[in-house]
Amino acid sequence: MPAPAKFITYIDAHKDAFIARLGEAVAIPSVSGDPSHRPDVIKMSGYIKSLLEPLGVKVELKDVGMEKQPDGSELPLPPVVFGTLGDDPNKKTVLLYAHYDVQPALVSDGWNTDPFKLTPDKEGRLFGRGSTDDKGPLIAWINIVEAHVTQGIELPVNIKFCLEGMEESGSEGLDDLIEKEKDGFFKSCDCVCICDNYWMNDRTPCLTYGVRGMSYYRIIVSGPARDLHSGLFGNTVHEPMTDLILLMSKLVTPSGEIMIPGLDKLVAPLTDSEKKRYETIDFALTDIEEQVGAKIVLSDDKSQVLMGRMRNPSLSLHGIEGAFYGPGAKTVIPAKVQGKFSIRLVPNMTPENVDPLVIKYLYDEFAKLKSKNTLKIENIHAGKAWMADPDHWNYRAAIKATEEVYKKTPDLTREGGSIPVTLTFADVLGLNVLLLPMGRGDDGAHSTNEKLDTFNYIEGTKLLGTYLHEIAVTN
């Protein structure tokens, strides 16, 4: 069921008002990572409450406790804004997630305009910190509720809002709250929609149904009790760097294939329907070349490149702690070196089934070196992959809504990096989670001159509203 014409008309008619409202939101510098801005983050939660309550949304500001500072002091965490609209047992209940905090921004970082003053240009691009990440989507949901309430359009679903203020700083407090409220606030939810990522390019809408996880390792090789001079001890003792570099060279080939035996068997097989998805995604190798600024794409095959990013694991060598890293020529034999690498995990890999393979392999390879140095391997950071079923009614409704608003079938994509809250909603609540992006790939979410196109803001508002109407009728 497409959204009523009255809804679409209202959105178009209120374009200027909606931009002004986004401007109000951007003007509150709710930088969660900067303690001096914590009052602004908290102010932002009050601002949201002040918009939602007059529309009939029942709002609760959930206290999630204090944040420990490096100096030992404590700072209050901004509340998670819970909102409830409707409790009709005959309607589906959709959980809408967004965040109201932003990344830091200073004019001196290279902004062309004041980052906390939403500034349009001639092409209708709205520049400002948080415009696309994530105040645009958050305000859009409020605009949608306003359109329904003021125009007397019945909301086709019950809505639960979960709006957090610490997303840019590790979502502190949120996981515990979700766990605690899973049989409370979240009990009636039927599906989740998160509007907090981006199209793959500037042309084609997409829905995102998976993100990779990660296991981050360090390989520690220790030898002498202290750093040595290579003139005095070169070719005399086992050098930790020699061993470490050899071990690191056994992890991944120049074409990106992981060399650790058994890992490939953990990767979920590619089905025909999934394969077809990569073939039809609107994507060109030049998109990647532009993003990285060099012609270094691993393959000429579009599907292969997409699968490398979305559905296959990757292994990257990040660097070495303890070795010489400065400019110039230092003749040191470092005594203890730590090689850092990470593996991006995809279904059905988990830190639990990957760790033993990685660790055994590296110890086996080290044994072959016949070195007298000592080896230790540690997983220092781990997170699972997340993948939703893109054939679920939640996705089919979003596809339909996209086709209605953009006259295009959205690409079904997966992302290479992690979005931890996605996994929490899926695991703790056991719900299908949809990532339904509003902005474009070139919005510069964490960068200088972050922007949201007016086109994406207004059409995206229509899309999110239409999505609510579609889920009501999709099964």
Residues classed as catalytic: 101, 167
CB of 167 to a second copy, least distance (A): 16
Query: Among residues 469, 391, 473, which one has the least CA distance to residue 434?
Result: 391
- DSSP H or E stretch at residue 306: helix 302-310
Q: Shortest gap between Cβ of 416 and a second copy (angstroms)?
A: 5
Burial of 328 by CB count in 10 Å (0-12 exposed, 13-18 middle, 19+ buried)? exposed
Residue pair 443/425 in contact (Cβ under 8 Å)? The answer is no
- Single-letter residue type at 239: E
Q: Which stretch binds a second copy (CB under 8 A): 25-33, 230-238, 267-275, 356-364?
A: 230-238
Instruction: Order across the sheet with 125-127: list the strands.
Output: 119-120, 125-127, 451-453
DSSP states of 10-34 as a string?
Answer: HHHHTHHHHHHHHHHHHHS--BTT-
Q: How far is the CB of 239 from a second copy (least distance, A)?
A: 6
Site string for a second copy, 145-184 (x = CB under 8 A): ----------------------------------------
**Min separation Cβ 231 and a second copy, Å:** 3
Near a second copy by CB under 8 A: residue from 2, 76, 347, 416: 416
CB of 380 to a second copy, least distance (A): 5
- Hey, is 380 helix, strand or coil? strand
Token code pair at residue 249: 């060279």
CB of 317 to a second copy, least distance (A): 4
Q: Verify binding: residue 376, a second copy, rule CB under 8 A.
A: no
In 3D space, the residue among 56, 61, 55, 92 whose CA is nearest the CA of residue 192 turns out to be 92
Restricted to residues 324-363, the positions that interact with a second copy (CB under 8 A) are 324-334, 340, 342, 344
397 touches a second copy (CB under 8 A): no
**Among the listed residues 54, 72, 89, 254, the single contact to a second copy using CB under 8 A:** 254
Query: What's the distance, CA 406 to chain centroid?
Result: 24
Q: Does 249 bind a second copy (CB under 8 A)?
A: yes
Burial class (CB in 10 A: 0-12, 13-18, 19+), 90: exposed
| Residue 168 assigned ligand-binding role | yes
* R_g (Cα) of the chain, nearest Å: 25
Q: Which residues pair with 94 in a beta bridge?
A: 159, 191
Q: Is 381 annotated as a binding residue?
A: no
Under rule CB under 8 A, how many of the chain's residues touch a second copy?
Answer: 79
- Residue in 25, 85, 162, 214 binding a second copy, rule: CB under 8 A: 214
Choose which of 70, 271, 279, 370 interacts with a second copy (CB under 8 A): 370
Task: Give SS3 for 276.
Answer: helix
Among candidate residues 405, 465, 422, 248, the one with its CA nearest the CA of residue 338:
248
Is 53 annotated as belonging to a binding site?
Answer: no
CB closer to a second copy, 368 vs 408: 368
**How many angstroms separate the CA atoms of 458 and 445, rounded?**
18
300 sits near a second copy (criterion: CB under 8 A): no
Q: Which of 314, 424, 456, 461 binds a second copy (CB under 8 A)?
A: 314
| Count of Cβ atoms closer than 10 Å to residue 443 Cβ | 24
Stretch that binds a second copy, among 175-183, 187-195, 251-259, 428-436 (CB under 8 A): 251-259
DSSP state of 116: T
- Give the nearer residue to a second copy in terms of CB position, either 370 or 407: 370
**Spatial contact of 209 and 419, defined as CB atoms under 8 Å apart:** no
DSSP annotation of 144: H
User: Which residues 6+ apart lie within 8 Å of 407 measured at CB?
Assistant: none
The residue among 251 and 464 lying less far from a second copy, judged by its C-beta, is 251
Contact code string over 36-75 relative to a second copy, x by CB under 8 A? ----------------------------------------
Closest distance of CB 254 from a second copy, Å = 4
190 vs 274 by CB, closer to a second copy: 274
99 known ligand binder: yes
Residue 225 near a second copy by CB under 8 A: yes
Report the residue from 70, 89, 231, 430 that binds a second copy according to the rule CB under 8 A.
231
Q: Name the residue among 217, 216, 220 with its Cα closest to residue 334.
A: 220
Binding site per annotation, positions for substrate = 196, 229, 331, 344, 418, 446
Binding site per annotation, positions for Mn(2+) = 99, 133, 168, 196, 446
Binding site per annotation, positions = 99, 133, 168, 196, 229, 331, 344, 418, 446
